[in-house]
Amino acid sequence: MNEDERKVEYTTVSIPKPLANKIKERMKGTGFSSVSSYVTYVLRQLLSSIESEEKSTQAFTKEEEEKVIQRLRDLGYID
C-alpha cells in the first residue's frame, strides 16, 4: 500500500467566509484546532440528534422474541 492510500480521506465543503470567521471567533478557548474540526464536531452532533429521533430499524420477530424470553426464563432472569 502506498502512502496516499493510507491517508484518511477528507473532502472540502464551502461555507460563506463571514460564517467561517464567526466560527473562528466561537472556537476561541474551546480546544478545537481548526474550523474544519469544529464544523465536523457540530455536524456529527446534528446528525446524531436527527438520527436519535428516528425509530430503530431493529425489530425482532415475535418468534425470535418468544425464544429469547424462554431462554431468559430458563436462566432465571425472568419469572
Helix (H) or strand (E) holding 39: helix 35-53
C-alpha grid cell, residue 79: 419469572
Among 41, 10, 34, residue whose Cα is nearest residue 20: 34
Q: Does 69 bind other proteins (CB under 8 A)?
A: yes
Q: Which of 18, 57, 61, 62 binds other proteins (CB under 8 A)?
A: 57
Q: Which x/- pattern, by CB under 8 A, does the window 6-45 give for other proteins?
A: xxx--------------------------------xx-xx
Between CA 3 and CA 5 the distance in angstroms is: 5
Residues that bind other proteins (CB under 8 A): 1, 5-8, 41-42, 44-45, 47-48, 51-52, 56-58, 60, 64-65, 68-69, 71-72, 75-78
